[in-house]
């Protein structure tokens, strides 16, 4: 068996991408256009991280299904999929909130990242020998 381990450290930049700190700094310096560009760029990066997180979950979820060939547990797979979908959807909602300048966006993104059940992104995979 090979272990697939998706590290939370890899996704750590997500915690601050919607914070607005860089944008606020640029605005204080009088760089309004650049601040707008940085804000949009950070949001695009944030969504790329969410997409990568979703892709990694799909990989792990498929590995779990393969590992269950003889002892299929549909309820467990469904529960994991629903839980992951909830967190991914909420993180996407935070990105949408950021787009419409809702100040709660960064807090929601950080909160959901901190609450993310990382065990859903870990799996033992059958060795390909």
Q: CA 25, 26, 28 angle in degrees (round to 5)?
A: 65
The encoded tokens of residue 29 equal: 């310096």
Contact 129, 4 (CB under 8 A): no
Contact 17, 49 (CB under 8 A): yes
- pLDDT tens digit sequence for 44-75: 999 999 999 999 888 888 888 887 777 777 88
In which band, very low, low, confident or very high, does the pLDDT at 28 lie, cut at 50, 70 and 90? very high
- Sign of the dihedral through C-alpha 108, 113, 117, 121: positive
The encoded tokens of residue 105 equal: 């966006």
Q: Structure pTM?
A: 0.84
């Amino acid at each position: 068996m090979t272990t697939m381990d998706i590290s939370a450290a890899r996704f750590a930049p997500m915690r601050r991408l919607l914070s607005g700190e860089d944008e606020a700094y640029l605005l204080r310096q009088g760089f309004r256009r650049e601040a707008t560009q940085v804000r949009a760029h950070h949001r695009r990066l944030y969504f790329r991280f969410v997409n990568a997180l979703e892709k990694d979950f799909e990989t792990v979820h498929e590995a779990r299904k393969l590992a269950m060939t003889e002892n299929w547990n549909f309820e467990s797979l469904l529960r994991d999929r629903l839980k992951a979908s909830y967190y991914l959807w909420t993180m996407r909602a935070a990105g949408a909130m950021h787009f419409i300048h809702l100040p709660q966006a960064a807090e929601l993104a950080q909160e959901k990242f901190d609450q993310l059940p990382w065990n859903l992104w870990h799996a033992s995979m059958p060795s390909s020998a």
